[in-house]
Every structure is written in structure tokens, then in C-alpha cells.
Structure 1
Amino acid sequence: MKKGQIAGKAPRAFEIEKGKTYAWCRCGRSANQPFCDGSHKVTEFTPVIFKAEETKKVFFCMCKQTSTPPFCDGTHNTLK
């Protein structure tokens, strides 16, 4: 699968809330990183939509190269 453009080279910590739905930006174009703002509409990408199963702190991928979207898997450490 094609990866989006890099929006940052470090993950973004965020407290997600149980039962709330989130839309993670996959294309890297959103001005509301790490969340979708609709900028993908001119691309082939769609956001990753998920509902939080519990309230907890997570680390969202900002480099958009993760193999575990929407969460960081450390891939940003390998980028030049």
C-alpha cells in the first residue's frame, strides 16, 4: 500500500477517550495532524477511522510510514 507524505518525524502523544470515534490522517496533508481535515479528497488516500475501546494515552504516527496505522511503530527512526 502506498504511504502518505511525512507530516512529522516523531509520534504525537494523545489521550483517546473510550467510545469516541477518531479519523487519523493517512495522506499527511491535514492541517489538523494527526487527525483528518478532509485534505485527502484530492488524493487516493482515505483516513483510518477507529473507535477507542478504552481511555488511554496513545502515540499516533506522524511520518505516515507505519505498518500499524494509526499508531507509531518506530519507523520514523529509519527515515533520513
Structure 2
Amino acid sequence: MSRAKISIYVDEVVWQEFKAYVMGKHGKLHGVLGEEVTKALEDCLSRVAAPKSAEAQLYRILRAIIELNKVVDDILEVRE
């Protein structure tokens, strides 16, 4: 997956709440903030825009599988 560097202005309160959410979820911002912004944008798009192709649907399924694998890895790591 390629990444794009962006610079945007957002509501300060919303941004602080989002960063607090990411910090609570990951315990850090560095290295995960961009991933969480991407997930939030994907979630928003999935709710308001129907997938335009089978390729888009497959991409979303693969992203979900990757996220599920991360959760499983985290669970296994805790068990050790």
C-alpha cells in the first residue's frame, strides 16, 4: 500500500479527541496515528459510498483480515 503525505485543517477539539482515542488504543501516537486516520476514512467511506468494484470489496476484506491477524497476534503475545 502506498502512502500519501497530507496537510489539512480539522476542528481542534475533534483532533484532540481522535488523538486521545488512538493513545488509549495503542498507548502511543508515533507509527499508528496515520494508520488510524486511514481506518477512520475507510470506515466513513464504507458507510456513505458503496464499493465501486469487486476490487474495492476485496481490498476492504483483505484489510479486515490484516486487522484481525493483528488482534490475534496481540492476544497470543499476551498469553505468552
With CA pairs under 8 Å and 6+ residues apart, which has the higher RCO, 1 or 2?
1
| Higher Cα radius of gyration | 2
Greater helix content: 2
> TM exceeds 0.5?
no
Q: Per the shorter chain, which TM-score range? A: under 0.3
Give the structure-2-normalised TM-score.
0.23
